[in-house]
Amino acid sequence: MVLETERLRIYPATQEQMEAFIAAETDVELKSAYSEMLQGCLLNPEQWELFAMWIIELSDGTHIGDLCFKGLISNGITEIGYGIMEEYQGSGYATEAVKAAVKWAFENLDINAIEAETEIDNTASQRVLEKCGFVANGKIGAEGPRYSLFRISD
């Protein structure tokens, strides 16, 4: 499954791709996060997309970042996380990727809301969330303010 936008291709990584990212990652926190994602995928293969690292590429195949859902938290809620490599930041790629992933999630998963958390001084990430329709929910998580986006009823 591949999500395609005007400029991007976004798709869940395979087990092999995730293992390669884990092996190559030098940041201890990211290596741990990718390992947790892979473990979630292996424990929940029927919900692979909810646990996998999603690769974000330019339409020419250049890898520029990744995103993930963090499984089901509770009551039909999932969390999204994302990152764009520094040299590609500031071009709207994160907003484009998050919008596509959120749209896909609400259309294909049995979820009611998507949450996100960003560092308190990461105004660029907060702007991405706001442009995608997320609203600060007044809660502060381990990394900073939390945001929510609810499914619009038909």
- Read off the pLDDT band of 153 (50, 70, 90): low
pTM of the model: 0.94
pLDDT tens figures, 122-145: 999 999 999 999 999 999 998 899
For the chain, strand residue ranges (E) read 3-4, 8-12, 53-58, 63-74, 77-84, 113-117, 135-140, 145-150
Residue 9: phi and psi, rounded to 5, are -120, 130
pLDDT tens figures, 35-55: 999 999 999 999 999 999 999
Mean pLDDT of the residues in the chain: 94
pLDDT tens figures, 55-83: 999 999 999 999 999 988 778 899 999 99
Q: What angle do CA 108, 138, 104 make, to 5 degrees?
A: 10
pLDDT tens figures, 16-31: 999 999 999 999 998 9
If one counts the domains in the chain, the total is 1
- Read off the pLDDT band of 146 (50, 70, 90): very high
Q: Residue 103 maps to which CATH number?
A: 3.40.630.30
Asked whether 81 and 67 are in contact (CB, 8 A), the reply is yes
pLDDT of residue 154: 55
**Which domain range does residue 102 map to?**
3-150
